[in-house]
Amino acid sequence: MDLEKPKENNIAFIDSQNLHFGTIKCDMCAILLAKNIRDMELADCSCGQAWEVDLAKFYIYLKENYQVNNA
């Protein structure tokens, strides 16, 4: 996995309604399952892209991997 060159469309989707759960949903599996990503549950992701996160660590992750300066 090459995290140094993230694609233009970030594959990590943060559902703001579920942000307090610290869950990142998987748009790839949403497409595969033909589900709206907002209806995706963590368990619906079979590729491991969706994950539960510690938000503080998540922001560090974003900064390290995506050079996010506005987080």
Tell me if 45 contacts Zn ion by CB under 5 A. yes
Tell me if 24 contacts Zn ion by CB under 5 A. no
What is the total count of residues that contact Zn ion (CB under 5 A)?
5
Residue 9, SS3?
coil
Tell me if 62 contacts Zn ion by CB under 5 A. no
Inter-CA distances, 43 with 7, 17, 25, 63, 68, Å: 25, 17, 10, 27, 28
- Both tokens of 64, joined, read 């390290």
Site for Zn ion in 3-22 (CB under 5 A): none
* Residue (44 or 61) nearer to Zn ion, CB: 44
The whole-angstrom separation of Cα 7 and Cα 19 is 23
Least separation in angstroms between CB 68 and Zn ion: 22
User: Which positions lie near Zn ion, rule CB under 5 A?
Assistant: 26, 29, 45, 47, 49
